[in-house]
Amino acid sequence: MAIDYHHLKGRPFAPVRQHYAERDTMLYALSLGLGCDPLDGASLPYTYEGLDGGLRALPTLAVVLGYPGFWAREPDTGIDWVRLLHGEQRVRWHQPLPASGDVVGKSRITRLIDKGADKGAILVTERRLESAAGALLATLEQVTFLRGDGGYSQRTGQASDAPLPALAATPHERAPDGIDQQAIRPEAALLYRLMGDYNPLHADPAVARQAGFERPILHGLASYGLVAWALVRQCAGGDASRLKALDIRFAAPVYPGETLVTEIWRVPGQDGRYQLRARVAERDKIVLSHGHAELA
């Protein structure tokens, strides 16, 4: 079954209502490695409720809240879901997330772009994360690469949308202004899957080998959270509430147990704007690229 432009663009998504508790907020931070050093004062506000001011939520917790599930697998979509990849993640935060509460995720497909036969298609899904009272907390855009669905517009005469504005590559002409290094816990994927993504690719070695990987890989959104925390540590004094936007491209898989090195550049003449990318030290491989971030 081939994808149908009008069917996908008009596909309804029921609002996803979700309650999360302080335990979930702490577990999310722990899954990203916060708390590995018990004397790290920057991590403690996100992993312990006993400080003045109480527990704080990492802003990237938004990526696991109000999620509509792996809907691309449903037969009516026509998507070759086995071959899809999470290509980019773009998030804007409108106000800090509370440490616990009730939220509503409202999703819709905003763009479907045909790159051509044998080149795949691009699907852009927007999710508005709101409080139970209707206040907008975050706007998330997930860019999905449909490797098996290119050429649909040429074959059927259907429409193809304009692409999203491209993310610029990080500077190569000068050294980064800051470098952060994080050891990824060996059990990181097993912890992060408790956030709701139970894809066996991240847990079962046999499934990972069938998919072409030597062992289970880390979730892309876990590496997204790691890079966000690296930026907050290096450029915001550990105050995650200053993070207002983060867009990044997933370039290659990350394995638990590796060392993530995040390279950060200040954007000249634009206070609070940064470009970033990340590589794994053991393989000297760029795994996240084209990163753009905004701090208050």
Per residue of the chain (296 residues), what is the pLDDT tens digit? 689 999 999 999 999 999 999 999 999 999 999 999 989 999 999 999 999 999 999 999 999 999 998 899 899 999 998 888 899 999 999 999 999 999 999 999 999 999 999 899 999 999 999 999 999 999 999 999 998 999 999 887 899 999 999 999 999 899 999 999 999 999 999 999 999 888 888 999 998 998 889 999 999 999 999 999 999 999 999 999 999 999 999 999 999 999 999 999 999 999 999 999 999 999 999 999 999 999 99
Give the whole-angstrom CA distance, residue 28 versus residue 64: 9
Fold of 178-295: Thiol Ester Dehydrase; Chain A (3.10.129)
Give the whole-angstrom CA distance, residue 225 versus residue 227: 5
pTM score of the predicted model: 0.94
Which residues is 16 bridged to in the sheet? Answer: 105
Give the whole-angstrom CA distance, residue 272 versus residue 252: 27
Give the whole-angstrom CA distance, residue 60 versus residue 204: 26
Structure tokens at 244: 């207002």
Q: What is the pLDDT of residue 1?
A: 64
User: What type of residue sits at position 53?
Assistant: G
**Which residues are catalytically annotated?**
197, 202, 217, 220
Q: What is the pLDDT of residue 23?
A: 97
User: What type of residue sits at position 206?
Assistant: A
Give the whole-angstrom CA distance, residue 272 versus residue 235: 9
- Domain assignments of the chain as residue spans, ordered by start: 5-156, 178-295
Do 5-156 and 178-295 show the same overall fold? Answer: yes
Give yes or no for a contact between 30 and 47, defined as CB atoms under 8 angstroms apart.
yes
* DSSP track, 32-57: TTTTSSTT-TTTHHHH-S-STT----
Give the whole-angstrom CA distance, residue 169 versus residue 197: 29
Q: What is the pLDDT of residue 121?
A: 96
Give the whole-angstrom CA distance, residue 182 versus residue 256: 11
- Report which of 258, 262, 254, 268 is spatially closest to residue 231, judged by C-alpha positions: 262
User: What type of residue sits at position 141?
Assistant: E
Q: What is the pLDDT of residue 2?
A: 80
Q: How far is CA 19 from CA 24, 50, 98, in A?
A: 10, 22, 11
- Report which of 120, 142, 114, 104 is spatially closest to residue 250, judged by C-alpha positions: 142
Give the whole-angstrom CA distance, residue 224 versus residue 228: 6
CATH class, 5-156 region: alpha beta
